[in-house]
Amino acid sequence: MQQLHLIRLFRERIAQLGNKAALRVQQDGQWRAIGWRTLGQAMDYCAQALIRAGHQECEMVGIYSRNMPEWTQADLGILAARGVSVPIYPTSTLEQARYIVRDAGIKTLFVGEQPQFDQALQLLESGDIRAIVALDSAVDLRGCEQACHFQTFLISGNHHPSELELRRREQHYAMDDLFTLIYTSGTTGEPKGVMLDFANLSACLQMHDDRLEVGEDDVSICMLPLSHVFERGWSFYVLYRGAENVYIRDPQQVMNVIGEVKPTLMCSVPRLYEKAYALIQAKVAEAPALRRALFGWATRVGTQVVERRQQEKRVSPLLYVQLALAERLVFRKLRARFGGRTRFLPVAGARLADDVNLFFQAMGLNLKYGYGMTETMATVCCYEDSRFQLGSIGTPLSGIEVKLGESKELLVRAPTVMRGYYKKPDATAEVMTEDGFLRTGDAGDIDAKGNIYFTERLKELMKTSNGKYVAPQVVEGAIGKDRFIEQIAIIADARHFVSALIVPCYESLEEYARSINLQYQCKSELLRHSKVVEFFESRINELQKELAKFEQVKKFTLLPRAFSMELGEITPTMKLRRRIIEATYKQEIEQMYGIS
């Protein structure tokens, strides 16, 4: 495998592609393109500005921001200066940010908008950092002398001595230099800094080349947080292939702009497709009988085609004719909702329900479902273009070995596996086997064709008082895809049946309440209403009928507020902190189990 240093690769692209659009963003209602040459200049000036400000080689620099082109420009500038980028989730609390800043020894912090700047100001006042660079020009610097806007920072980088130092540093680029330190979300303990180097990144890029085809004509929407390895790694890959990366600050707005952007690629989490699936099904249920029948017929045709391809069987001429008709009458219109040009859509980060996956595959959206970790530079396995097995998370990328360990734990050995956890040798030793495999902490299986199957996080597996093991993500995935459910947390450990804490989707619920003319004074009264409870009970029973009896939710409580990051109930990646949730809602849980 070649040793491809990211910054050297990007310099080649800048020379090759010149003024071709590399990045795009919407500003004041207009889409603005940023060419490769402009990106290269921003990268160099940012690197030189860091050097001029006293940045040392291999020094950690933080990026605390929502997605924007300046995020990537700052990231590349840090790496060009032979620094180490340390992303911080833009939704992090002050204390979460402080932990990372102190643990990594960050002194310069790039921030996105006013909320991040105001928290950074507190870190500056407490002596944790010494300089702030605001990426958004609208940020009020509040008179702080140690803060400046990104454009001002770049201007300071137009400095000949710093340029000479940058050229000197370029001669010392090494593949074992760290390129990033990414802190895990810490569902069961304090976050750990995952050390990834340029060799990890180089291997990742080349492995994706073997599996995917991405070129200069492709357009990708950058909607997941760049602070997560999935979007960051994907954005690097998109740009390395010469494609265009389109930035969206608020992922909730993606479906509002996707028609304008018309992406060919977009990585996302399953929740996007679960919500879209629920919305489509709800609209179909309200449609006239003839349209419902047409939709049902088209879906069956598409499903038959997918199933035959999964079985590696030929699609009959008659089925091809039916598919062409279904395309013209139904599928093309549905795909238009996703821009109408998508070639494939990487999906990972959580379990994707088989029925949701099959539905979108049937309508011709090529969901490239996969699995990965921060510790593996994202992708371990994903669907192949030529074949995939529904229910699996695909086959390993070339150069990645996956085997089963004790309790069917998935073990991974690859050039993409991290160097270790920063300043945590004992934690590193715990997750590495003697023969160099990473313990993923995830249980799974491998079939004869090499397809990998994910079952559950081993640490989250719950054992009922009857001795039955319940995988909470399986139950939450089955029920949580409903359009009336925003969040769900399963309770089962050491209990005699499964229960659930459910945060309803209030927009959908209030719409339902209006449709049945239900009167209520406040949210709590709405949730307690017998018709609402019966409505949820009916939906949950329908959604979980495919689950084993011991896995099915017997009782549930509807909650008036969402699980909160500020209160520590969810991580910045929206994963549940189950212990904290159970402690917070102890009274509600005990009521479900009849404990006074």
187 pLDDT band (50/70/90 cuts)?
Answer: low
3-state secondary structure at position 370: strand
Assign 68 to helix, strand or coil: coil
The arithmetic mean of pLDDT across residues 271-284, rounded, is 91
Query: What percentage of the chain reaches a pLDDT higher than 70?
Result: 99
Domain residues for the domain of 62 are 6-173
Average pLDDT, rounded, for the chain: 95
DSSP state of 329: I
Q: Would residue 55 count as lying in a domain?
A: yes
Residues 524-582 have pLDDT tens digits of: 999 999 999 999 999 999 999 999 999 999 999 999 999 998 888 988 777 899 999 99
Give domain status of residue 140, yes or no.
yes
pTM given for the model: 0.91
pLDDT at 210: 96
Domain presence at residue 370: no
Domain assignment present for 138: yes
Pairing of strands 108-111, 84-88: unpaired
Contact 219, 264 (CB under 8 A): yes
- List the structure tokens of 483: 């359009």
Q: What is the pLDDT of residues 67-92, one digit of tens each?
A: 999 999 999 999 999 999 999 999 89
Pick from 148, 173, 198: which residue ends a domain? 173
CATH code of 70's domain: 3.40.50.12780
Q: Is residue 115 part of a domain?
A: yes
Q: For residue 490, what is the domain's CATH number?
A: 3.30.300.30
Position 449 in a domain: no
Question: What confidence score (pLDDT) does residue 405 get?
Answer: 97
Token reading at 500? 């659930």
Give every CB contact of residue 415 below 8 A, 6+ residues apart in sequence.
1, 199, 200, 203, 399
- Does 202 reside within a domain? no
Phi then psi for 34, rounded to 5 degrees? -120, 120
Sign of CA dihedral 17, 23, 26, 28: negative
Domain total for the chain? Answer: 2
pLDDT for the residue 312: 83
Q: Using the 3D structure, point to which of 146, 173, 200 is the last residue of a domain.
A: 173
Predicted local confidence at residue 186, as pLDDT: 64
Structural domain ending residue among the three candidates 157, 173, 189: 173
* Mean pLDDT value of segment 424-434: 96
Q: What's the rounded Cα separation, in Å, for the pair 430 and 192?
A: 13
User: Which tokens belong to 253?
Assistant: 């707005």
In a domain? residue 25: yes
The helix/strand/coil state of 433 is: coil
Look at residue 585 and tell me whether its pLDDT is greater than 90. Answer: yes
Closest CA to 148 of 106, 102, 109: 109
Contact yes or no for 257/26 (Cβ under 8 A):
yes
Mean pLDDT of 476-494: 94
Q: Is the pLDDT of residue 189 over 80?
A: no
> Does 128 have pLDDT greater than 80?
yes
| Residue 396, phi-psi category: left (phi > 0), alpha (psi -120 to 50), beta (remainder) | beta
Region at 105 (left for phi over 0; alpha for psi -120 to 50; beta for the rest): left
